[in-house]
Structure formats: C-alpha cells, structure tokens
Amino acid sequence: MTTTQLSLEDIYLIALKALKAAGADENNASAVADVVMKAERDGSHSHGLFRIPGYVASLQSGKVNGQANPELNARTPVVLHCDGDLGYAPLAHQRSLGKLADAATSNGVATLSITRTHHFAALWPETEALAEQGLVAITCVSYLPNVAPFGSHEKLFGTNPIAFAWPRPNDSPVVFDMATAAMAMGDVQIAARDGKTVPEGTGLNADGNETTDPSEIIKGMLLPFGGYKGSHIAMMIELLAGPLVGETTSFHSQKRDSGDGGPPRGGQFILAINPELLSAGNWHNESEAFLDRLSHLDGTRLPGQRRYQNRLNLGPREINTELLKTIAAAK
C-alpha cells in the first residue's frame, strides 16, 4: 500500500474542496471537513478521508441536502429536537449541543433527538464535547442493515455504534465509541482494500458461513459482538435511535435509501447528565479513585487514551494514495 503524507490542514482542505465541489455549501462542508480532519488526527482512519467518496456520492445523488439548515426547538426545557433538514449530522451538532449542555447543566438531565439527518462520522465528538462541559453523555445511531441478529443468517441491524463519555475535571474525559457489530463496517472495508483478513467471528459470507475474508463479509453480513449480548444492545440502539426519536430503524431506512454508498437518513439519540446535580456533589472523588485503579491494572488503558496520545502529534498523517486519487477524480 502506497501512502502520501498530508498535514492536518491539507486533510481538512481536501475534504472541504471535495464536499463543496459536490454541492455542499460552506457551512455544511466545513462542519463535515472538520470531523473528517479530527478523525485522521486521532487515528480513526475508517471515519476520516476514507468517508469522503460516500459523502460525495450522496450529495451527487441528491439524497443529502448540501444546503441544509438544521433547526433546533425545545419541546420541553429538557427535551430538545433538531430537524437536520436532510443534511449531514455535523452541522446539526454544531447548532444543538450547546443548548443541550445548558439544559442538562441546569436541570440535571436533558435529551436531544436529531431526525432527518445522515450520520457518517465517528460518534465520539458529540460525547466528548459534552463531557468537556462537565456532563456525562451517551449517544447512538443506527445505520443500514448489515448485521445479523444472534442466531440468524439474515441482516437486520445496522452496525449501530454507541458512544459514552465521562467527565474528569482535571483530565481528559473517558470516552469510548464502538460499533455493536464485531467490527465496524469501515474497518472491514479498509481490510478488504488492503488485502488483509479479519478475526474469526467478524462475519458471514452470503451463504451464511463464517469467514475471515472481508470482501466476502461485505457481500454477506457482520455478526454482533459478544453473541446474544451484543445482539441485544444492537436491538436497543435500533429502538433508541429510531422510534424513540421519531425516525426509522435500519430495516426501514434501507427501503428509502438510494444505494449511492453514502449514509442513510436516520435519527440520533443523545442523553446528557449533570453528575454534580445527580450525586449532590459526591461523584468526583469516587470516580477518580475507580479510574485510577482501572488505569493501573496490568494490560489496561482507559478508553480514549490512544486517541489523546495521537493528538499530541501535530505532524503529517499517512493517507492511502489511491484514496486520494479517488477523491480527486470525483466530480
């Protein structure tokens, strides 16, 4: 595999140019380009420039509104809703998360539902932003069906990621962002591109047989992590990010999707909690003692530590050269 070194600024500008050329306006393009750059900065290659061809395709097909103007409204002081206007999620986040943080800080708990949106990025930016304001945060989204429920050979769930963040007043938040599939589809696609195999238990081929060939899994289906336990969590996310917020599940999202390779329209559920109010100020010492113990166990690290370590490197990143050619060729 041949790679090209690019600065973080170059990564941002490449993403911005491609998105604007495909029909996104400045607000939408810059919001997406920012999360793409941050994914590359943090080492999340499956959610960085690798996503740009999908973003571009869904703009060109007309499925995504490149001039989306997301609107936030408060249904109650603690129940917020953002209509994504059929655009990409990052701009909706920019216009909503501050109000969600204010509501949770004042009232203890607040929720944000985002509908009529297309989420194609990592989930950690939303939860980390809330944790940096002293809040516990949980968010989840569904996707197109490409995961078979436990015991089945039929795709029904999306990869259905969930992210969680815990604030640390004197340190970086603890943040995890994970698919409920055994492996994120983006990582499977990158493995296929690079000619690598994936671990056993990742997925099945089109005939329902287990395989470590990522190309066969793409034609077939992924498996949930942890057997029936991961399958149940994936089901929960379908309900939280679909019906609970007034959107569809992965199964029905596929029926209205154009099949252009970009993300489907769907919903997002975000919960923000003020630990200071819920615990009456008694949360910090106990949580820090627990996290300190966890971080000092042999072979462990706190979630997010590798991402924070990657951020310290402000130098160029290695980007797949063929990917850059694909992005440059997109019109």
Amino acid at 221: M
Give the active site residue among 42, 83, 177, 187.
Answer: 187
Chain-centre distance for alpha carbon 184: 10
- Of the candidates 52, 60, 67, the one whose C-alpha atom is nearest the C-alpha of residue 18 is 52
Q: Are 57 and 75 in contact (CB under 8 A)?
A: no
Measured CA to CA, the distance from residue 137 to residue 18 in angstroms comes to 32
Give the active site residue among 45, 47, 93, 118.
Answer: 47
Angle at 321 between CA 320 and CA 327, to 5 degrees: 95
Helical H runs in the chain?
8-21, 26-41, 52-60, 89-107, 124-131, 185-193, 214-219, 228-241, 250-256, 275-278, 284-295, 305-311, 321-329
Q: Is 284 a catalytic residue?
A: no
Number of residues that this document lists for the chain: 331
Q: Is 187 a catalytic residue?
A: yes
Give the active site residue among 30, 42, 45, 46.
Answer: 46
- Of the candidates 195, 227, 221, 225, the one whose C-alpha atom is nearest the C-alpha of residue 208 is 221
Residues with a catalytic annotation lie at: 46-47, 187
